Amino acid sequence: MSDVGAATVPIPRASAPTRRRYRLGRLAGRNRLALVAAVALLLAVAAAVLAPWLPLADPDAVDTPHRLRPPLSAGHTLGTDEFGRDLLARLVWGARVSLTAGVASAAAAMVLGVTLGILGGFYTGWIETVIMRLTDILMAFPYVLLAIAIVAGLGPGLRNAMIAIAIVGFPLYTRLVRGAVLSLREREFVEAARALGASDGVILGRHVLPHLLSPVIVAFSLDVGAKILATAGLSFLGLGTQPPTADWGSMLATGRQFVILSPHVVLLPGLAIFAVVLALNLVGDAVRDLLDPRRV
Amino acid sequence: MKYYLARRLLLLVPVLAGVSIIIFMVLHLAPGDPAEIMLGSQATQEDLVRLRADLGLNEPLHVQYLRWVGHVARGDLGRSLWMKRPVLGEVLTRFRATLVLTATALVLSTTIGIALGVTAAMRPNSMLDRLSAVASLFGASMPSFWLGIVLMVIFALQLGWLPASGMYAPHSGGDARDLLTHLILPAVTLAAASVTIVARLTRSAMLDTLAQDYVRTARAKGVSSGAVVLRHALGNALVPIVTVVGVQAGYLLGGAVLTETVFAWPGVGTLMVQGILARDFPLVQGCVLVVALSFVLVNLAVDLLYAWLDPRIRYE
């Protein structure tokens, strides 16, 4: 063995500080954009949380004489919709619904998916078979179609739309976590814990779960945007938020009929969805770079 | 290959059973009596009794399921409560329109995506490469239904170049040219996000294969740059590309619901949404079943294509 080692030609490599500087430089370059995105996201979240205390018009107050006013009209910075309701107020109040729906459905999918993924990866036998077949079957449906089918059964409404999206979304986490747990359960530290007499609960909670945090956080940060798009899509079809509650998807759906007269009623909620999801994706990419240095 | 095909077909059985159970359960998800939900609060007692008998709702769940599967296997998807017609014929007619739309979008996203990805991989970090990275970020963040409305406003309502909605002109038309002009906006809308995904994946698969020894050998032998890229690199990069194209086919089938709604395209997606709003469960079940089955078949076709492209897969 030592002969082989002696015959090996050393490969010239950049020195460690150079490599680190290069990586940090790339990360900083990317993160400038992610920083802007994070600030924009924080502003959107702050506006949504503080909506009741902001000097905004009543988002549901109908004022038909002033319907479809363009942006920068007197008293209506972003104009009004088909019922004369203030668009800025509806966008801000809509952010509460859209952001909550996206985060809540992604969180529910994550909790369910991670739990099933841990169980499916750690226990072989019928538990693994049942969980993996269930995820296979759910993944045998096109994503949007299955969500629509579940809403069809539960009935249209925001809560049911969120349940549907969480059900459709959990197999992603199950697959991700199961793969990681399959390799983790063979590692020495798990064997050592078992030899010391640790119960399954302790092994999973204290030794396996911490290793899953980084991939799950990365997946979650990229998933929230997708879930906001999905809930907005269901609301657009009339299967999510029901009138008069404002959310960005339903605002787009109702504004669509007036697109020729007043394109802003459609353009503004669409831009809001686009900007927030873009910001989430940029922040998600930065989180991935931070937690998974191999990708940088 | 025969053995591989048999094994893949056998694996379809549990998936199809699971898919059928989920679709059947759609009717039973909501708490309460499905007959009351379907007919609404205005329904008379006689109507409720008749519908319960028609749908077999008085029998145990497993009996209802087996009877439903039996009917489905014979091509009987029940009668639409809203249209008073057999579901199968209606769904298949609409499904043809959906297929035309998704197939066109898939062809667009595959050809443009692969072309962009190959060009970006040949010149990494060029302006085109950076543009394609930005476009893929935008594609993943933009709601397709909003993009559809924006395209409709620009190209149909403002410029008047293309029709705004429908599959054919209501009075004149009905020919291939008419279909094509109606197809452009919805197909581009549906394909937009997929193009960026296919392009990014093609780029990374091509960068991997272009760094392989056999590509260097081919270049050293004096093979022209075009032949190296097309014959040696692209041929070997096809397996991951086929994977993503297969996934995109399913995404397009499902995502078509939103695009169809924007452009009033008479596909199975718009029919399903109308069915849900009318609480017409047999119609909804029929729509989901046909789309899900075609999705399963697309996945099967993709798996077979892998095995054909990469012999290692079929000997695993």
Distance CA B166, CA B158 (A): 18
Round to whole Å and give the CA distance between B184 and B161.
11
Q: Is the model's pLDDT at B307 over the cut of 60? A: yes
Q: By three-state DSSP, how is residue A187 classified?
A: coil
Q: What is the pLDDT of residue B157?
A: 87
Residue B78 has pLDDT above 60, yes or no: yes
State the amino acid at position A86 in one-letter form: D
Chain A CB contacts of B144 under 8 Å are: 233
A194's enclosing H/E stretch is helix A188-195
Q: What is the mean pLDDT of residues B146-168?
A: 90
Q: Could you tell me which residues come within 8 angstroms of residue B153 by beta carbon, excluding any fewer than 6 positions away?
A: A259, A260, A263, A266
Query: Residue A49: is its pLDDT beyond 90?
Result: yes
Closest to B254 (Cβ–Cβ): which among A137, A144, A236?
A: A144
- Cβ <8 Å between B141 and A151: no
In this complex, do A140 and B25 lie within 8 Å of one another by their Cβ atoms? no
Candidates A150, A229, A277: best to mutate against B (most CBs of B within 10 A) is A229
Quickly state the pLDDT bin for B43 (edges 50, 70, 90): confident
Which one has a higher pLDDT value, B14 or B99?
A: B99
Q: How far is B66 from chain A (nearest CA, A)?
A: 19
HEC per residue, A21-69: HHHHHHHHHHHHHHHHHHHHHHHHHHHHHCHHHCCCCCCCCCCHHHCCC
Show residues of chain A in contact with B22, CB under 8 Å: 137-138, 141, 146, 149
Q: Please answer yes or no on whether A153 and B29 come within 8 Å at the CB atom.
A: yes
Inter-chain CB proximity A152 and B152 less than 8 Å: no
Please give the average per-residue pLDDT across B133-153, as a whole number: 89
Sign of the alpha-carbon torsion through B193, B196, B199, B203: negative
In eight-state DSSP terms, residue A80 is: B
| Predicted local distance difference test score (pLDDT) of residue A5 | 44
Collect all residues of chain A within an 8 Å Cβ-Cβ radius of residue B151. Answer: none
Residue A94 and residue A88 in contact, taking contact as beta carbons nearer than 8 Å:
no
Mean pLDDT score across all residues of chain B:
85
Q: Which residue has the higher pLDDT, B233 or B89?
A: B89
Nearest-Cα residue of chain B relative to residue A284: B137
Of the pLDDT bands very low, low, confident and very high (cuts 50, 70, 90), residue A10 is low
A244 phi, psi to nearest 5 deg: -95, 5
Query: Which chain B residues contact residue A141 at CB under 8 A?
Result: 19, 22, 254, 288, 292, 295
- Helices (H), ranges, A50-157: 87-122, 126-139, 143-154
Report whether B113 contacts B196 (CB < 8 A): yes
Least confident of A221-230, B73-82, B284-293: B73-82
> Which tokens hold the place of A126?
């019928």
In one letter, which amino acid is A223? D
Query: Which pLDDT band holds residue A63 (cuts at 50, 70, 90)?
Result: confident
Quote the minimal CA–CA distance from A152 to chain B in Å: 5
Choose from A173-177, A257-261, B40-44, B304-308 the range with maximum mean pLDDT: A173-177
Contacts of B272 in chain A (CB under 8 A): 145, 148, 152
The whole-number average pLDDT for the span B5-32 is: 80
Percent of chain B past pLDDT 70, that is, above it, reads: 97
* Contacts for A296 with CB less than 8 Å, ≥ 6 apart: A23, A26, A27, A289
Look at B257 and A237 and tell me if their CB atoms are within 8 Å: yes
Taking only the tens place, the pLDDT of each residue in B227-286 is 888 888 887 888 778 878 887 887 888 888 899 999 999 999 999 988 888 878 888 889
Nearest to B189 by CA among B240, B155, B223, B160: B155
Query: What is the distance between the alpha carbons of residues B6 and B217, in angstroms, rounded to a whole number?
Result: 39
Q: Are residues A278 and B137, on separate chains, in Cβ contact within 8 Å?
A: yes
CA separation for the pair B1, B307 (Å, rounded)? 8
Among B residues 17-76, those touching chain A with beta carbons less than 8 Å apart: 18-19, 22-23, 25-30, 37
Q: What is the pLDDT of residue B147?
A: 93
CB contact under 8 A, B141 and A278: yes
Position A4 scores a pLDDT of: 43
Q: Is B253 on the interface with A (CB under 8 A)?
A: yes
Look at B149 and A266 and tell me if their CB atoms are within 8 Å. yes
**pLDDT of B13 over the 70 cut:** yes
Q: Is A133 close to B30, i.e. CB distance below 8 A?
A: no
* Residue B259, token pair as written in the block: 């695009």
Task: Read off the DSSP letter of residue A107.
Answer: H
Decide if A57 contacts A93 (C-beta within 8 A): no
* pLDDT digit string, tens, across residues B116-132: 888 888 888 888 888 88
Chain B contacts of A239, Cβ < 8 Å?
A: 273, 276
Interface test with A, best of B20, B29, B152 (most A CBs within 10 A): B29
Q: Please work out, in degrees rounded to the nearest 5, the angle formed at the alpha carbon of residue B47 by the alpha carbons of B42 and B53.
A: 140
Say whether the peptide bond before residue A244 is cis (omega within 30 degrees of 0): yes
With a CB-CB cutoff of 8 Å, which residues 111-170 of chain B face chain A? Answer: 137-138, 140-146, 149-150, 152-153, 157
**Is the distance from CB of A43 to CB of A92 less than 8 angstroms?**
no
Average of per-residue pLDDT across A37-59: 90
pLDDT tens digits for A81-134?
888 888 899 999 999 999 999 999 999 999 999 999 999 988 878 888 889 888
